[in-house]
Structure 1
Amino acid sequence: MNAIELRKQELNNCRPEPTLDAVAIDTFWDSQLAESEGRPLCVRMIPEATPYPGMVVSKVSYRGYGETDIHAWYIRPASATAQEELPCIVTFPGYTGDRGYPERYARYILLGYSVLAVDVRGQLGETGNLLPLEQGVVRGWITQGLLEKEHSYYLAVAMDTVRAIEAAAELPGTDPARIAITGASQGGGIALLAGALSRRVAAVAADIPNLCRLDFGVMNSTSSLTEIAEYLKRYPEQLEQVLHNLAYFDIVNLAHRFTAPVLMSSGWKDTVCMPETIYAAYNRIQAPKQMQDYPFSGHEVGEFQQRVTARFLQEQLDSSR
């Protein structure tokens, strides 16, 4: 057995126990989801000019968690008729990023799909954040509300994501039975949250995702989770409470809720979303799943993986017609 095969074996055996039982997880999330269902989405759509004749673009907003309006692009192939219901790919950016320009998503338009490209609240895009700031935070966003999961930034993002799927289902020209979600890093973690929490998701493609094995990540990650580590460095007495709250957003603990097919990728040299975190979640998901390994890649998504994702989406969305 060579070193690559040995490393793969180690990752396949990476199966830490959940840090919360399924009953606690389901009770919390079922309550949050039930409360969200009764709130109007207030979807608005305005045409947006584009220099690219192959796509039709609209600027969309919907009402997210805590009355924050979430902004997005809705993009359709110009060749699609107004009556044609297409698969819709919902996507979120990586940490500190934004949804960018519509042409960023041309590869999905070339597949014949529509796209809902969504900002993450408070980060670089056009979307604000009306979540109350009731205590001090470390620079960045994720320590907001860290001591109270019911009012935390992670909860707000999770519910924004579920409502993005619901908003996509309401958009003209979307087939509500063929909504997939994809993203990388933060976007990959958000995609996994959607797979665990939304009944509408038909497929999940999560590249180098965060939100997996969060306790390990807080100790070892070199990126966003260092904000939580810095907070705990200042307030070590809060460690138990913080880890307990994070556990509700950890895909390791949410893995039992997946039903839609999942594609994940892992870069073995990644120090941001380490393979030990990604595999810890992947190995517990019982839904149909695939993993793409990149032993010589860090925190990145290459063109080969983009092709793998395209084929995965075609398998899941085109065959379900």
Structure 2
Amino acid sequence: MTADADQADLWAYRSAYETPADFDAFWRDTLDSAAVHPLDLRLTPVGTRLLTVDVFDVTFNGFGGHPVRGWLRVPRHRSGPLPAVVQFHGYASGRGHPLDDLLWPSAGYAHLLMDTRGQGGAWAGGDTPDPVGSGASYPGFMTRGITAKETYFYRRVFTDAVRAVEAVRAVDLVDPALVSVVGASQGGGIALAAAGLVPDLRAVHLQAPLLCDIRRAIRSTTDGPYVEISGYLATHRGAVENVFETLAYFDGIAFAQRATAPAWFSTGLMDQVCPPSTAFAAYHAYAGRKEIRAWEFNGHEAGGSLDLEIALDAFHSALSAAP
């Protein structure tokens, strides 16, 4: 267990993060700019040997009208509109293979897995380029465009996530009133942003979310994506306040304060990538009904499949047709 992870301290901990005064205006303008571009949703059936799941190659227009890819997987034997789960994947990964990630459609949900632009060179391949360049950055994605909120990488990613929710709601076989978002690590951070930007989601599941209580996280960990920011600041010594001014517009705490859908959080108390205090900071700030599970002897995997079991049980009632 890390020094960050004393459970009594975690329940008492509240972040010192402060939301910028123009946070809501910034995101309203960002999403309005994206809405100018037609969604242009395209679904192409993918042939597989699966007997119980149909797979579609998905493309829709995200930030700047840039095409974003994904997979839509749905139970083959279905009747009537389906509840939907939009999933965002972990850092540096991509949407992977059509046969990956069959949990949610196997449980009866329409499942949209969104590619993260520019990523997909790590453990699962991706197919969505990021056509926007950036200034100097540390290797990875965390510092791309970090000198201004308008150019920061995650402005585009979070906008893509909102458009992914719009995309799944535009699918004929989906009930647009029964949509949830899920993710682990980076995917959890993206899902939390979507929950704060989309007001009428039905449920949220967040495993060890990245991009929460960012200033503390950078100073509390020596592993994972946050190291890219500390590495950047080690050579750009005069940029510290400018960088944290930018990151304030992308901190999960601000999105948590604006999210109202029922949410299930998890964290591993030995997590060296996303310190458990940062997950608790977002949990404490979350405005909707919420639960959190802290796994005492787990790291960044948090509860793994047991977290997913909890989510399946919770979503069964949260995504029912009843209001």
Q: Is the 8 A contact 1:44 1:62 kept in 2?
A: yes
User: What are the Cα deviations for residues 97-140 of structure 1, in whole angstroms up to 9, with x where unaligned?
Assistant: 1122343332212221110011100111011001123x121111
Cα separation, 1, equivalents of 2:293 and 2:100: 23
Identical amino acids, percent of aligned pairs: 32
Q: What letter is aligned with 1:250?
A: D
In structure 2, do the counterparts of structure 1 residues 163 and 213 end up closer, same or farther at CA, with 3 Å as the change threshold? same
1:95 to 2:91 alignment: yes
Cα separation, 2, equivalents of 1:253 and 1:55: 37
- How far residue 19 of structure 1 moved from its aligned partner, in angstroms, is 2.2
Selected match of 2:304 from 277, 290, 302: 302
In structure 2, do the counterparts of structure 1 residues 319 and 176 end up closer, same or farther at CA, with 3 Å as the change threshold? closer
Q: Is the 8 A contact 1:92 1:118 kept in 2?
A: yes
Structure 1 segments of 4 or more deviating over 4 A? none
Q: What is residue 141 of structure 2 aligned with on the other side?
A: 141
Q: What letter is aligned with 2:57?
A: K
Q: What is residue 315 of structure 1 aligned with on the other side?
A: 317
Cα separation, 2, equivalents of 1:319 and 1:165: 18
- How far residue 35 of structure 1 moved from its aligned partner, in angstroms, is 2.4
Q: Is the 8 A contact 2:53 2:106 kept in 1?
A: no
Q: Secondary structure at the match of 1:35?
A: helix
What pairs with 1:14-25 in structure 2 (closer than 5 Å)?
A: 14-21=13-20, 23-25=21-23
Q: What is residue 8 of structure 1 aligned with on the other side?
A: 7
Q: Is the 8 A contact 1:72 1:117 kept in 2?
A: yes
What pairs with 1:166-245 in structure 2 (closer than 5 Å)?
A: 166-221=166-221, 222-245=223-246
User: What are the Cα deviations for residues 197-225 of structure 1, in whole angstroms up to 9, with x where unaligned?
Assistant: 11342211010101110001122231111
Q: What is residue 77 of structure 2 aligned with on the other side?
A: 79
- How far residue 319 of structure 1 moved from its aligned partner, in angstroms, is 5.3
Q: Is the 8 A contact 2:37 2:64 kept in 1?
A: no
1:271 to 2:280 alignment: no
- How far residue 318 of structure 1 moved from its aligned partner, in angstroms, is 1.7
Q: TM-score, normalised by structure 1?
A: 0.93
In the alignment, structure 2 segments of 5+ residues that lack a partner are 121-125
Q: What letter is aligned with 2:142?
A: I
Q: What is residue 65 of structure 1 aligned with on the other side?
A: 63
Q: TM-score, normalised by structure 2?
A: 0.93
Cα separation, 1, equivalents of 2:216 and 2:267: 16
RMSD value over aligned CA atoms?
Answer: 1.7
Cα separation, 2, equivalents of 1:87 and 1:194: 17
Q: Is the 8 A contact 1:178 1:320 kept in 2?
A: no
Q: Secondary structure at the match of 1:176?
A: strand
Cα separation, 2, equivalents of 1:200 and 1:72: 22
In the alignment, structure 1 segments of 5+ residues that lack a partner are 1-5
Could you tell which deviates more after superposition, 138-147 or 104-113?
104-113
